Amino acid sequence: MKIALVSEYYYPLLGGITEHVHNLAGALGKKGHDVTVITHNLKPRKHHHYPDEPLTFNVERFGKGIPIYSNGSFARVTLGRGLGDSLQKFFEREKFDVIHAHSPLTPILPLVAIRRSNAPVTVGTFHTYFDRSRGYGMLKKKAMEHMDMMDGRIVVSDACTEALSRYFEAEYRVIPNGVDTDYFRPDSPVLPEFDDGKLNILFVGRFDPRNGLKTMLEAFRLVRQQFDNCRLIVVGDGPLRPYYRSVMDKKLARDIHFAGLINGGRPNYYASADIYCTPCTKASFGVVLLEAMASATPIVASDINGYRLVMEDNRQGILVPENEAAGFAEALLRLLKDPELRRRLGDEGRRTAIDSFSWDLVATRVEQYYLELLGHNLSVFKEEPLAEKVYALNE
């Protein structure tokens, strides 16, 4: 199949959706499909990153990426004169079998791609959980028009279905995020600067309010009142960095390491960590949990819908009520003082990642969904080459 994956989030921006699109494109490419990622055209800056390994698929960039603040996080929209016409000409030239938009109701690139799609099948994947959406409430009728333009709708978790169902009546297929279990693995080299006998607590995430770094810093302060031999490693960055540095306990500054944005070296940080901790308050799915699990790193995480769909309390880690710094400190102390518990939870996490969330398994489910939708639409699209292609893939 010839497949276009459309996303506002892709390299040089880091994040869960970027990882999802990149890994899905690579996994579908390994299955023999011709894949193109369509995204923003963003001038690289100091903290931007690109994949370390050579790409096995095409990347086409349109418009200009502009940052906005939305849903407790910093989002991205693509602007550009003639954006719709440029996309339409590209679609007409390339003749994709599937156009697959990620966060498909998010302005602007995914919305335009759905409206201009000429493919036999148009699919959307929803990545975000939200309690309420003022935008959907105000523009429900218009958003429903875009919903109806999609032949298929994927959600990465039941939490997404719950959020969307408050506004839209539609059918959704749950296909989770995945993780590269060959890339994130427990035998990745440990970083020498953190291999000094101290136990390492790792936090990974953009410096957005919903990711809970303030709670993490307060929990670490409480931990250090009872357990000295540990440090906190913070991987991530964002406009709120000065604020978080201002609220941390200055007496602990030597043991709070701000590593900045890390792309290619993340497996080494997980391998260097004795515990991974995420006090996030809003997530549709725990990509960072999968990375920690694949690395056999035990987890302390917020007890929220998106995380409960990935891990179980006292199986791959410990779940804590959100925003409770004292509860996080208690869970961290329990693991810091019990190496056997850390080993057991880490081993179970690795098994779960391999058995349920490897990208090969996830991409196969996406591929099967494409074929199912293409089969339904063959009676409408009478082009013989497409029919031959779909039948051949089903043989």
Tell the residue number behind the tokens 């994947």, with chain if given: 125
Domain range summary for the chain, segments of one domain joined by +: 2-178+358-394, 192-356
pLDDT of residue 50: 60
Q: Which phi and psi (to 5°) does residue 296 adopt?
A: 60, 35
And the tokens for 13? Answer: 């921006």
Q: Where are the beta strands (DSSP E) in 184-310?
A: 199-204, 230-235, 256-260, 275-278, 299-302
CATH number listed for the domain at residues 192-356:
3.40.50.2000
pLDDT of residue 70: 53
Q: Which phi and psi (to 5°) does residue 193 adopt?
A: -65, -15
pLDDT of residue 41: 83
Q: 3-class DSSP state for residue 65?
A: strand
**Superfamily of domain 2-178+358-394 in the CATH hierarchy:** Glycogen Phosphorylase B; (3.40.50.2000)
pLDDT of residue 159: 82
State pLDDT tens for residues 66-117: 766 555 555 667 777 889 999 999 999 999 999 999 999 988 899 999 999 9
Question: Which residues, 6+ apart, have CB-to-CB distance to 176 below 8 Å?
Answer: 156, 157, 285, 309, 310, 356, 357, 362
Instruction: Tell me the β-bridge partners of 362.
Output: none
Tell me, rounded to whole angstroms, the distance of Cα 346 from its chain centroid: 21
Question: Which residues, 6+ apart, have CB-to-CB distance to 102 below 8 Å?
Answer: 5, 6, 7, 8, 9, 17, 20, 21, 110, 124, 125, 127
Instruction: Tell me the β-bridge partners of 302.
Output: 320
Q: Which amino acid is at 73?
A: S
pLDDT of residue 74: 54
Tell the residue number behind the tokens 């199912």, with chain if given: 372
Counted residue by residue, the chain has a size of 395
Domains 2-178+358-394 and 192-356 are alike in CATH topology? yes
CA–CA distances in Å: residue 245 to residues 217, 218, 332:
9, 12, 21
Residue 189 and residue 350: Cα distance in Å, rounded? Answer: 17
pLDDT of residue 378: 52
Instruction: Tell me the β-bridge partners of 100.
Output: 5, 123
Residue 198 and residue 6: Cα distance in Å, rounded? Answer: 43
List, for the chain, all residue ranges whose pLDDT scores fall below the cut of 50.
46-48, 379-395
pLDDT of residue 188: 97
pLDDT of residue 383: 43
Residue 86 has a CB neighbour count (10 Å cut-off) of 16
